[in-house]
Amino acid sequence: MTLPASADTHRIEPPNWWVGMRDTSLQLMIHGAGVADAKPQLAPYPGVTLKASHRAASANYLFVDLDVSPAAQAGELALTVGGTTLRYPLLARAPGSAERQGFGPKDAIYLVVPDRFSQGAQLGLAGMKEGVNRADHGGRHGGDLAGMRKHIDYIAGLGFTQVWPTPLLENNSEKYSYHGYGATDFYRIDPRFGSNADFGAFTSEARAKGVGVIQDVVLNHIGSGHWWMRDLPAPDWLNQWPQGYTETHHARMTLQDPYAAPSDRKRFTDGWFVPTMPDLNQRRPEVATYLTQMTLWWIERFGLSGIRTDTYSYSDREFLTRWSARVMQEYPRLNIVGEEWSPHPAVVSYWQRGKRNHDGYVSHTPSMMDFPMNSALLAALVEDDGPFTGWTRVYEGLAHDFVYPDAANLVLFDGNHDTPRMYSLLKKDAGLTKLALAYMATTRRIPQVFYGSEILLQSPLERDDGRVRADMPGGWAGDPVNAFNGTGLTPEQRDMQDWVKRLFNWRKGERLIHDGALMQYAPLEGCHVFFRFDAGRTLMVALNKTAKPVDLPLARFPERVAPGQRARDVMSGQTQALGERLTVPARSPLILEITR
């Protein structure tokens, strides 16, 4: 067959690769008119071998399998497909890339919705189906990478050491495209956010200022405007149903339920979220390989410190095992956190690396989002205490850490882009909000804070995504309130912002919080008390949610503290000699460093 003469008519993904990867296999997906039956030829290149090629159902896709051995050097491959020679870059890996340190218990994560955080540039909208309209709560508001880069100092100044932006990939849809969870091109930053080069500049500057970048990766689905949808490689590239569109029922427990009907399990994983989010079939080998290589490409190309995986359990289980194993093979110290929106520790722990599961399932994903503790914490702060309510929820929630292989590596969050704002859920009570943040910052978890929590952003209590993901005040020219420089903030907002800054900057340097042991005491009188400690030092955390001060008898905590010791309040710096009782102010956390 004869192909078009220009290599520009071909799309190759991944667009480049690297020498020195631990797994030497590489599969190129080549898309071009009539390319499927071509017999590719690789010009001699030391250390690189063309192993095989095959087509799918479409005449316009060719899959080429290469082996890039450890002997290969950086350079450019020449791959002839029909009458066209395609140039393919092989790059050298950055020094230390494989050994990069991912995020962990020493870190605190700041979650940003890029479209709603800050606008730093007026970017062109050529070819984009949806423009900017800040008056539309569900529309694009124009935040971008330049705006995020402009405020890296703000994020670092608050004490956060990692930033997680919701997906930045191209989402070229008619409407509701700003959130990023319906990719239309897996290898392109949405031009309304900037370019791939802009993303590289952002990640580089963030790292230089002590802030790692976590990429939000969606493996389960794409957007209906994805370029594949104009020419699917094969009908089973997607999970399709004989009866037509079938939506997932979100019954996630079907995967662990020993009594679940197989048809229910299939509907959970193979059903679509919405008609505009086609569900990918990761049981097809080329889809699985594509998604795995795509993940590795972003990590390597932009020096990421971790991956957050959206709708984790909705993907094929066996694929998730292979995907997580391959990522951790290439980056053994990286971290991956999965989203499993369940209130049950047994369900969330099923997906964490090291768990010995009842059905033999094996995962290599190190971390999960701690939805069970998030639910327990928010409920505890607004309920009366009882045998099963209030602080008991938090106490028993942490007691369930025995089901996790690595509880300290879970990510505990105040809220996210899919949940009502914490301050609103806590009845707009700044004291309760401080208690929640103090617990997140001091317990055995990795804390994640949603942008704007530090200035008490609000939302409706019912789900309203557009208002939950409200614009960060001061992110746009002319905003009358500016969170970044304090203009127009109320005294309560200023106080909270300053308090969050002190809390997380203290946490950043406190090793007892990063890796110390934990001992908790049963809650009494509206107070929850626990200690972080090692052989030489002790921190005491007392959380009082009542409307009056509580006097705690220190005799309740004989293993960890005694009268006569000295205590320094880590937030105020004030010191005191401990007597028989300790007063915890109303609606407040008290964090004390205990010395002999």
pLDDT at 123 over 90: no
**Bridge partners, 165 (sequence order):** 112
Q: How many residues does the chain have?
A: 596
Average pLDDT, whole number, for the chain? 96
pLDDT band at 125 (very low <50, low <70, confident <90, very high): confident
Q: How many CA atoms lie within 13 A of 583 on its CB side?
A: 6
526 vs 394: CA distance, rounded Å: 12
pLDDT band at 17 (very low <50, low <70, confident <90, very high): very high
3-state secondary structure of 67: strand
| pLDDT for the residue 580 | 97
72-76, 95-99, 120-124, 459-463 — which is least confidently predicted?
120-124
pLDDT tens profile 416-444: 999 999 999 999 999 999 999 999 999 99
pLDDT tens profile 36-88: 999 999 999 999 999 999 999 999 999 999 999 999 999 999 999 988 999 99
| pLDDT for the residue 5 | 35
Mean pLDDT over 574-580 rounds to: 96
Amino acid code (one letter) for 458? Q
48 vs 202: CA distance, rounded Å: 33
Could you give the residue numbers annotated as active site?
Answer: 310, 339
Pairing of strands 41-42, 75-81: antiparallel
pLDDT at 2 over 70: no
**Bridge partners, 412 (sequence order):** 447
pLDDT at 6 over 70: no
Residue with tokens 């938090």: 394
Long-range contacts of 42-48 (CB under 8 A, 24+ apart): 42/66, 42/77, 42/78, 42/79, 42/80, 43/77, 43/78, 43/79, 43/80, 45/72, 45/75, 45/77, 45/78, 46/71, 46/72, 46/73, 47/19, 47/71, 47/72, 47/73, 48/72, 48/77, 48/90
Q: pTM, whole model, 2 decimals?
A: 0.97
| pLDDT for the residue 8 | 63
Residue 37 near residue 12 (C-beta atoms within 8 A): no
Mean pLDDT over 461-475 rounds to: 96
pLDDT at 552 over 70: yes
pLDDT at 464 over 70: yes
Secondary structure E strands in 140-184:
162-165, 169-170
pLDDT at 4 over 80: no
* Structure-token pair, residue 479: 């905003």
| pLDDT for the residue 7 | 55
Residue 331 near residue 100 (C-beta atoms within 8 A): yes
pLDDT band at 317 (very low <50, low <70, confident <90, very high): very high
Q: Which of 427, 464, 448, 443 is nearest to 539 (CA)?
A: 443
* Structure-token pair, residue 560: 């960890």
Sequence-ordered list of residues with C-beta below 8 angstroms from that of 148, at least 6 positions apart, any chain: 112, 114, 117, 118, 120, 163, 165, 202
Give the chain's end-to-end CA distance (angstroms, integer): 84
Please give the share of the chain, as a percent, with pLDDT higher than 90: 97
- The CATH architecture assigned to 7-93 reads Sandwich (2.60)
Q: Which residues in the chain are classed under CATH 2.60.40.10?
A: 7-93
pLDDT tens profile 203-250: 999 999 999 999 999 999 999 999 999 999 999 999 999 999 999 999
Q: Which residues in the chain are classed under CATH 2.60.40.1180?
A: 518-595
Mean pLDDT over 124-129 rounds to: 87
pLDDT tens profile 365-379: 999 999 999 999 999
Fold of 106-215+414-509: TIM Barrel (3.20.20)
pLDDT at 1 over 80: no
pLDDT at 547 over 60: yes
118 vs 150: CA distance, rounded Å: 8
Q: Which residues in the chain are classed under CATH 3.20.20.80?
A: 106-215+414-509
pLDDT band at 526 (very low <50, low <70, confident <90, very high): very high
Pairing of strands 162-165, 109-112: parallel
pLDDT tens profile 273-315: 999 999 999 999 999 999 999 999 999 999 999 999 999 999 9
Find the helix packing angle between 430-442 and 371-380, rounded to 10°. 140
| pLDDT for the residue 126 | 86
| pLDDT for the residue 207 | 98
SS (H, E, C) 354-390: CCCCCCCCCCCCCEEECHHHHHHHHHHCCCCCCCCCC
| pLDDT for the residue 221 | 98
Residue 29 near residue 15 (C-beta atoms within 8 A): no
255-273 in b/e form (b: 16+ CB < 10 A) is bbeeeeeeeeeebbbbbbb
Work out the angle at residue 357's Cα, subtended by the Cα atoms of residues 351 and 363, and round it to the nearest 5 degrees: 35
pLDDT band at 124 (very low <50, low <70, confident <90, very high): confident
Q: How many CA atoms lie within 13 A of 60 on its CB side?
A: 14
pLDDT at 453 over 60: yes
| pLDDT for the residue 82 | 87
| Residue range 518-595 in CATH 2.60.40.1180 | yes
Pairing of strands 162-165, 212-217: parallel
Q: Which of 158, 142, 114 is nearest to 476 (CA)?
A: 142
| Measured CA distances, 447 to 12, 94, 251, 503, 513 (Å) | 39, 29, 27, 12, 11
